[in-house]
Amino acid sequence: QRPLGVLRLSLTARCNLACPYCRPDGEEPPGLLTLEQRLRVIAAGVALGVNSLRLTGGEPLLHPQLTDLLQAVQPLRRDGLKDIALTSNGLLLTAQRAEALRAAGLDRLTLSLDGTTGASVAAMAGLADSAAGERALEQVLRAIEHARDAGFDPAQGALKLNAVIQKGRNDEQVLPLAQLCRERGLELRLIEYMDVGNRNGWQPADVVTAAEMVRTISERWPLEPQGRAGHSTANRWRYGDGQGSVAMVASVSQPFCGDCNRLRVTADGIAYTCLFAAPGSGVDLKPSLAASRDPADLQATLGQLWQERADRYSEERSTAAARPAAHAEMAYLGG
């Protein structure tokens, strides 16, 4: 009884960073979907109830057809598509690029930044040293302003900042990140370090829980709980002094499998119903996308996959028998 509502479509498995919690591939998988095939996947999703499209990667700004895809998908708004969002590390978001994305029909933009110092950014982005981290930090801060200038208004929820927090690596950055977002009028989304993929060496002891992060922030700026909207990934808190809000994505300590409405499609056309899926457990959509196939086949394939889903890994994480031997990689699944 979990209705389909969000399609997370990965455009590329490549990234221009090497964040240790993700560790993306250096090259694309074979058989990437074409622009026309991606449009067919989105249309089939909308026909099944998708009202929100999130374009992901890897780093989606690396994809040369991003703007073309945004423009081509606009007619689907007449069929029920209400919201188009993009998740990016922001390093490639120039003023011109931000304006082009807005003009092409992008509604929302979420940028990622895991620290406020060169050292913390370098540690969380897989960069060589603090100097490289400082350069990346400045690029992301400029990207925030480029996005704002292009019309992505944080006051309307159109511009947010993601940060993954890992114990012993950047947990001292919770308050500085909160301060940065309060100053810039952004909602900060703090994300628990997750056991996605097989390359990040995840251990439960490395997780800074949402409760810990809320306590840390609230000791400095008192927070008032706003709860979690239906199908949302985040619990939201409002600053008591009225200076914005902060959100917590707590898929480890406070799972939200029960109303998850997200379908993920990789850059090479494999559909998954869970971020923590085992490799090889997805459904290859390319046979249904073949030119000789009836267009209804694709919708039927997606519909069957969704109706048969039984995944709730985050709720079962503590049960050893529930853990797959391996997970599909985060960059492959769209984060």
In tens, the pLDDT along 203-236 reads 999 999 999 999 999 999 999 999 999 999 999 9
Residue 92: how many other CB atoms lie within 10 Å = 14
The string of pLDDT tens digits covering residues 145-166 is 999 999 999 999 999 999 999 9
What is the average pLDDT value for the chain, to the nearest integer?
94
Binned at pLDDT 50, 70 and 90, residue 335 comes out as low
Q: Three-state SS for 13?
A: coil
pTM of the model: 0.95
pLDDT at position 332: 80
pLDDT at position 325: 64
pLDDT at position 112: 98
Beta strand 223-227 with 235-239 is antiparallel
Q: What number is the average pLDDT over the span 234-243?
A: 97
Q: Does the pLDDT at position 318 exceed 90?
A: no
The CATH code belonging to domain 6-333 is 3.20.20.70
Q: Does the pLDDT at position 198 exceed 90?
A: no
Domain limits, the chain: 6-333
pLDDT at position 139: 98
Q: Does the pLDDT at position 320 exceed 70?
A: no
Q: Starting from the edge strand earliest in sequence, which strands make up the sheet with 270-272, in order?
A: 223-227, 235-239, 245-249, 187-192, 159-165, 108-112, 83-88, 52-56, 6-10, 262-265, 270-272, 283-284
Burial of 253 (0-12, 13-18, 19+ CB in 10 A): middle
The string of pLDDT tens digits covering residues 247-301 is 999 999 999 999 999 999 999 999 999 999 888 889 999 999 998 888 899 999 9
Q: Does the pLDDT at position 68 exceed 60?
A: yes
Binned at pLDDT 50, 70 and 90, residue 1 comes out as confident
Phi, psi of 36 (to 5 degrees): -65, -40
